[in-house]
Structure 1
Amino acid sequence: MIPLPLLVLGLAATSPTAAPSTAEQLHAVCQTHAQEPGTPWALAHGITLEGRDFRARDGRRAVDVIVSDFLRRDAAPGGRGLFFEPSTPQGQPVAPHPALLEKTLVLAGVPLGRKFQTDEGPVTLKHLVEALQRTFRPALASSAEGAWTLDALGHVLTPGASFQNGAGETVRIDAVMDEALVTLERAQSELAEGMKAGLPQVPKRKQGIYTHPCGGLHFFQAVASWARHPAVRRAWGGRLEAQVDVLLYRLGSEARQYEAALATAPQHRLALLSQSLKFYGHFLETLGRYRKENGWRPSASQQRAVVRAHQLLEATVRRLGEAQAFQRMPTLAREEPQLFWDLLGDSCHAAHGLDLWK
């Protein structure tokens, strides 16, 4: 059997005169549109793909732009302390999901002691993490918006650690992550039942995992990443592996529904292709992180599913190219901004997913 990395690379192989590969096209979209210094959300996606040295169009490091230009401080007693607004007054996304920017900096490997200059004086990433801990609510472990906070704290804390939030509660990170695993199991339960029953698909009705942003794949990443600790894997037994199997089943389930929708609703083709890009890209990113962080060694059938996801992503990008979607992004930014943001962010995540499987 050909090893998975060779299979994946073979799918994307090109000759010197061939058209750009899927990965090259997605990298180009991210690099072109994620550099705007007035849009920290976009800069964060550039960092996710290109690393902590990614630069904004004005030449500054994106990590500096994000913190120096957009960090706010609520100094009132009992206030939020250091925080990022969800968006700018002009409507540009800053941090539409709680802790998205902090999580991006942490996962990019920015040192906790790294100093950023702000209007309020120097601030370190450690200060930002401490602000997350002060505002942490235990309900985030079961919240659709908790993924980014869980991922950030899960990378700066270790099993057995605890901290005190602003309400005076002692928060045990093990208990938080245990609850997050339970939340993932509940959210994927209908898919798990469909898998066990041998159903070809489970309809998406904005239920369960589909109530989460990006189909819950960021939440999945946060939970799976915590299991990189051997003590956590032992405590969880095979529960996380069972959720990986559900995710692999979900690939076929969603692919069938996207194809059916494209056939029956051609008037929504661009939006449907954007959704496909989101799912296949995040799918590859999620399992790529699982392999990198946890040492996951997929079985032969699991390898085939990953290769299939790569093929589906390639087909989606080809169709988006045929629709001139990437060429039209400046126009979409003015006329259909949400579609523009989706194409931009999901191109970055998809390119990152492909890079993780090189």
Structure 2
Amino acid sequence: MLPSSMALLGLTLSAPPPSPPPTAPAAPVLHAQCRTHAADPGNPWALAHGMDLDGRAFRTREGRPAAEAIVAGFLRRESPKAAPPARYFFDAFTPDGTPVEPHPALQVKTLLLSGHPLSHTFPAAWGPVSLRELVASLQHDFRPALATSPEGAWALDALSRVHKPGGAFQNGAGQTVRIDAVMDAALGTLESANSALAEGMKAGRAQVPKNKQGIYAHPCGGLHFFQAVAGWARFPSVRKAWGARLDAQVDVLVYRLGSEARQYEAALVAAPAFRVPVLVQMVKFYGHWLEALGRYRDETGWKPTPAQARAVEQARAALERAALQLEATGAFRDTATLARKEPQLALDLVGDACHAARGWDLWAPPGAK
């Protein structure tokens, strides 16, 4: 989280952001930051972010598959005396505060999206556990209220990987959960959260201030929630049913690019003492933004309009500029020192570099990753 004084992001900047500098090699910096610092076998949250970039191929610095390290070291289960089937779970944090699964289902979602089939087994402390069993535990714990919660993005993304339209399952409370109803509720949640931005877009306002309202009350600005919802539209029947409603959310996301860019640039000028946290926030936003639209394109076949394609190029240029400015501060080169002084900011520097590298790769020309 940024300091409260970063309400400066709400300052108005009448002119658009400055033009990007000539292309520079920021992408290798982002990739190196992720692959170096996310490979800590004692930090499962970081390992999951490395898998966001490199999928099931990502390994710890000792060479072990990251997925195995996560499950073997951090998966927990209810007492063996509990009634079958066994229930598996990850704690939100370790006793010393290391993040494991601060958002429900983050790890299961990561395992699914990294390419592991449901039949894949992982070595746990007590024996092999399949991904199918982990999904069963997710379904057992799932409550429909997560579809309307900012914390629901990861569980929604995971469930949409293993269900098709018309699918259903029973949770541990005995409720029959229908995936269509869950995802329809999630779309409604996204629309409601984005309402202020949608109004600003329709009114032609240059920006909508970020005041932790609506979508800005979600982790990572709701960009994970967009990914979870938009990915469900990979099914033609869903795409047809949602139609213009989903198109409008894509338009809002594109509008956000200019709206937030103005506020970040204003904050850099108005609060030079907070240059590093502002730049980290910029890398977070531009990287997640590119990742969100890249996933949407790849999963649904979406084809951007010429204006949307220009927005993608603007986002890539903005990410390039922000990453290079952050590199110039030395933060990437001395993340360990930063971790001792500001541990949350150091975590952001790692996780956001992974998302930014993934977002960059999704839109890089062939052979340029």
Q: TM-score range by the shorter chain?
A: over 0.9
What letter matches 2:181 in structure 1? Answer: A
- Residue 306 of structure 2 corresponds to residue 300 of structure 1: yes
**1:275, distance to aligned residue in structure 2 (A):** 0.7
> After superposition, what is the alpha-carbon deviation per residue over 1:241-264, rounded to whole angstroms, capped at 9, x for unaligned?
100000000100000000111111
Match 2:66 to one of 41, 62, 66? 62
Shift of 1:175: 0.2
2:40 to 30, 36, 39: 36
Question: What letter is aligned with 1:274?
Answer: V
Q: Please give the alpha-carbon distance, in whole angstroms, between the structure 2 residues aligned to 1:326 and 1:112.
A: 36
Is the Cα–Cα contact under 8 Å of residues 339 and 346 in structure 2 kept in the other structure? yes
Tell me by how many angstroms 1:136 deviates. Answer: 0.4
Alignment map for 1:25-174 (pairs within 5 Å):
25-75=29-79, 81-174=87-180
Q: Residue 226 in 1 paired to residue 232 in 2?
A: yes
Shift of 1:84: 0.4
1:320 and 2:326 aligned: yes
C-alpha distance in structure 2 between counterparts of 1:179 and 1:259, whole Å = 35
- Any idea what SS the aligned residue of 2:264 has? helix
SS at match of 1:52: helix
Q: Find out whether 1:242 has 2:248 as its counterpart.
A: yes
- Unaligned 5+ runs, structure 2: 1-19, 365-369
Aligned residues: 343
- How far the C-alpha of 1:329 sits from its partner, in A, is 0.5
Does the 8 A contact of 2:55 with 2:113 survive in 1? no
Partner of 2:268: 262
TM-score by length of structure 2 reads: 0.90
| Alpha-carbon separation, structure 1, partners of 2:26 and 2:82 | 51
Going from structure 1 to structure 2, the CA distance change for 1:12 and 1:52 (only over 3 Å counts) comes to: farther
Match of 2:151, SS state, is coil
**Letter matched to residue 115 of structure 1:** T
Deviation at 1:279, TM superposition (A): 0.4
Which residue of structure 1 lines up, in the alignment, with residue 7 of structure 2? Answer: none
Task: Give CA-to-partner distance per residue, 1:104-127, whole Å, 9 cap, x none.
Answer: 000011011111121222110000
Q: What corresponds to 1:8 in structure 2? A: none
Name 1:337's counterpart in structure 2.
343
* Aligned pairs (5 A) from 1:196-215: 196-215=202-221
For residues 271-310 of structure 1, the aligned pairs below 5 Å read 271-310=277-316
Contact 1:12/1:22, CA 8 A, preserved across alignment: no
What are the superposed Cα offsets for residues 13-53 of structure 1, whole Å, 9 maximum, x if unpaired?
98xxxx7x221110000011011110011111111101202
- Asked if 1 retains the 8 angstrom alpha-carbon contact of 2:104 and 2:152, the reply is yes
The amino acid across from 1:318 in the alignment is L
**CA distance in structure 2 between the aligned counterparts of 1:124 and 1:96, rounded to whole angstroms:** 22
* Deviations, residues 133-175 of structure 1 (Å, cap 9, x unaligned): 0000000000000000000010111100000000000000000
Q: Secondary structure of the equivalent of 2:57?
A: coil
Over aligned residue pairs, what C-alpha RMSD do you find? 1.6
Q: Please tell me whether the aligned partners of residues 221 and 290 of structure 1 are also in contact (alpha carbons under 8 angstroms).
A: yes
1:162 maps to a residue whose letter is: A
Counterpart of 1:216 (choices 190, 212, 222) is 222
Contact 1:191 1:202 in 2 (8 A): yes
Mapped contact 1:195–1:249 kept (Cα < 8 A): yes
TM-score (structure 1 length as normaliser): 0.93
Q: CA deviation at 1:58?
A: 1.7
Secondary structure, in 3 states, of the residue corresponding to 1:51?
helix
Instruction: Tell me the distance in 1 between the aligned counterparts of 2:296 and 2:163.
Output: 18
Note the C-alpha offset of 1:186: 0.2
Unaligned runs of 5+ in 1: 1-10
Counterpart secondary structure, 1:87: coil
Give the counterpart letter for 1:186 in structure 2.
S
**1:92: how far off?**
1.3
Whole-angstrom distance in 2 between the partners of 1:78 and 1:343: 42
Aligned residue identity for 2:184: D
Q: CA deviation at 1:81?
A: 2.0
Distance in 2, matches of 1:38 and 1:172, equals 37
Paired residue secondary structure (2:211):
coil
Aligned letter for 1:202?
V
The whole-number CA distance in structure 2 between the counterparts of 1:34 and 1:315 is 23
Question: % of aligned pairs identical?
Answer: 62
Which one-letter code corresponds to 1:262 in the other structure?
A: L
1:309-342, Cα deviation, whole Å (9 max, x unpaired): 0111011011101111101201011111101000
